[in-house]
Structures are given as C-alpha cells and as structure tokens.
Amino acid sequence: MSIISKDISKAVAILNQDELVAIPTETVYGLAGNIYSEKAIKLIFETKQRPLFNPLIVHISSADYLKNIVAHVPEKAKLLADAFWPGPITLVLKKKAIIPDLITAGKDTVAVRMPNHPLTLELLNQLDFPLAAPSANPFNRISPTKPEHVEQYFKNQLKIVLDGGACKSGIESTIIGFENDEPIVYRLGSTSLEAIEQVVGEIEVKNRKEEAPNAPGMLARHYAPKTKTILSNNLEETILKNKGQRIGVLAFKNMASSNDIAFQIVLSKTGNFAEAASKLYDALHKLDDQNLDLIIAEKLPNKNLGKSINDRLQRATK
C-alpha cells in the first residue's frame, strides 16, 4: 500500500508522536521531525544513515520565529530573509540554547530556512515546533524531488510521505553563513549567487569542508547515483572514450548523437537553467534505474544556476 498522502492531519499526529514524516518543499523532499524531540532527531540520522557531524536545517513557519531560536541576526541576514523568504535560502546563525546540539553537530550556529511550499507552510502552522528536515534520501544518494522517490527509499520506514507533487526548484537551498557579520556561501543552491549579490553585494563562496562542515551539503561526495557517473565538457569525445559500455547521457540542452547511447535525457531544450535545475535529480533517478554501466553528465555553462547544477554534478561524480 502506498504511503503517499495529502492528509496533513495525519502528518501532524505522527510528528506529535516524535516520529518522522516526509514533507515537500520547493527544493527537494525533506525527512522531517520535531526539533525539540531527541527521539525524532536521532531517528532522522538513523533513517538516513547520516553521520552525526553533519548538521541539519531547521524549517520555520515565519521569519518572526527566528527570535525564538537564534541569538543574533546580522543586518545582511535580515536583508536576505526579507528578500528571499519564504524561499530556497538557508541562513546559518548563532543559536540559542533551546536548539539541541544534536541538530547543529555541536556547533554554536544553526541553519534555518522558511520553505516556500503551501502544504508544508500549512503543516508548520499546525505544529507547536519547527521541523528539522534534511533531504529524504539515504546519505550520499540522489535527493528526492517527487513523493515516489521518497517512497522508493523508505517505504518500510515511514508512515506517510506528504504529497506536494514535483518540487519546483529541484535542487537544495543556497546556504549562507556569517563571519564577522559578513555573508559567506557555504552551499550553492536554488538561489543564484547573482540574485544574492544584488541584495548584499559581492559574496565569498566556501562550499567544501570535509571535517566538521559548517552546514549540510559541504561534503565532496553527495547527491550521487549508484551508477558510476562522470562529468564531461565534451559529450561526444567522452562517449567515444567509453565505447562498448552501456552508456546513459544527461545533456543540458542538445541531444548527443551516438549509437553507443542506451538512454538519454535533456534537461532543458531551451537552455533554461531553472528548468534544468528542476529536472536534475529526477533525471538522475531515471538514469540510475536503467541498468547502465556509466552515466555521462554534461557540464553546464558556469553562470547563474549553472554553477549550482555543476556543483551537484561534481559531487555526484566524486
């Protein structure tokens, strides 16, 4: 029997019992639990097989809730929240003691965002607590952007996947931390650097950290298919080098032509970065299901959301 459902009242009841619910956001589906419940938070790490040193993102129903969980909000953080919330920007801010260390991997900062999905905002408004919600996939695997992806991963471990349809943005939020009150990008994501810089000026990017990462999504290998995947600047050349294998291709806007291609997906025939981002993970799921020897992914132009997509593809190919 499918665990996919639109029943918010059922999700509320399960979360109030310190159990987990998969929730839709505009970026990816999240594996959600009560931030104040040690049982629920431990269950998130266990279910995902996620290492405890990798912090979680707290999802809140309004910017006003920040004052309950955060000790200090820099001016530029306020500007970013005003400009982009609800939406795919996560802010890493000094936490109050009420936030459990388990969520923050022992750090004195907490990652917070206000998701832009009507179903999840309605859910949050019906709860007395925010939700910790990393992506609803086993650690390092491809993130889920449809309820069916989550069901495939966790059908025996969850009671409900709240059905919000396909995620619009399709890749995770952009994560911004603050050093001396100045913003720094810890993870590229669904809000482009260009859009952020229009609000706060030029911004530094520090989005790789293997030891004690400042935020989720900083590890070198992440978001990865089971099938061996390589990133290519020239699809035809890379296909030629790998002749004789069962090859799948993930192209940006133009179909690659070769008899050696067993399965191919084009992300956006018009070269639209937002469309490509929204389809990225679903395309990787489909390619991973084709019993291929190799997936060859085309590198996108390194601008706008192309930078974020390339970041995900690089981590998928490590």
Determine the 3-state secondary structure of 47 from DSSP: helix
Domain tally, the chain = 2
Q: Do residues 148 and 4 make contact, with C-beta atoms less than 8 angstroms apart?
A: yes
Q: Give the span between the Cα atoms of 80 and 113, in whole angstroms.
A: 11
Q: What integer pLDDT is reported at residue 219 of this predicted model?
A: 60
Determine which helix (DSSP H) or strand (DSSP E) holds 162, and give its type and residue range.
Answer: strand 161-162
Global model pTM greater than 0.85: yes
Neighbours of 73 (CB within 10 A): 18
In a domain, 216, yes or no: no
CATH of the domain at 287: 3.40.50.11030
Determine the 3-state secondary structure of 187 from DSSP: strand
Task: Let me know whether 108 and 12 are in one domain.
Answer: yes
In a domain, 299, yes or no: yes
In a domain, 213, yes or no: no
Cis peptide before 130 (omega within 30 of 0): no
Task: Let me know whether 17 and 128 are in one domain.
Answer: yes
Task: Let me know whether 192 and 249 are in one domain.
Answer: no
Task: Let me know whether 21 and 93 are in one domain.
Answer: yes
Domain boundary among 156, 189, 205: 205
In a domain, 10, yes or no: yes
Task: Let me know whether 182 and 33 are in one domain.
Answer: yes
Task: Let me know whether 57 and 185 are in one domain.
Answer: yes
Q: What integer pLDDT is reported at residue 220 of this predicted model?
A: 56
In a domain, 210, yes or no: no
Task: Let me know whether 12 and 48 are in one domain.
Answer: yes
CATH of the domain at 72: 3.90.870.10
In a domain, 224, yes or no: no
Q: What integer pLDDT is reported at residue 316 of this predicted model?
A: 86
In a domain, 217, yes or no: no
Task: Let me know whether 197 and 238 are in one domain.
Answer: no
In a domain, 212, yes or no: no
Alpha helices in the chain (DSSP H): 8-16, 38-48, 66-69, 75-84, 101-104, 118-125, 147-154, 193-200, 235-241, 273-288, 305-316
Q: What integer pLDDT is reported at residue 218 of this predicted model?
A: 58
Half-sphere exposure of 172 (CA within 13 A, CB side): 27
Task: Let me know whether 85 and 148 are in one domain.
Answer: yes
Task: Let me know whether 67 and 157 are in one domain.
Answer: yes
Domain boundary among 189, 205, 221: 205
Task: Let me know whether 195 and 234 are in one domain.
Answer: no
Domain boundary among 158, 173, 205: 205
- For the chain, list residues with pLDDT below 50: none
Range of the domain at 310: 229-316
Task: Let me know whether 99 and 20 are in one domain.
Answer: yes
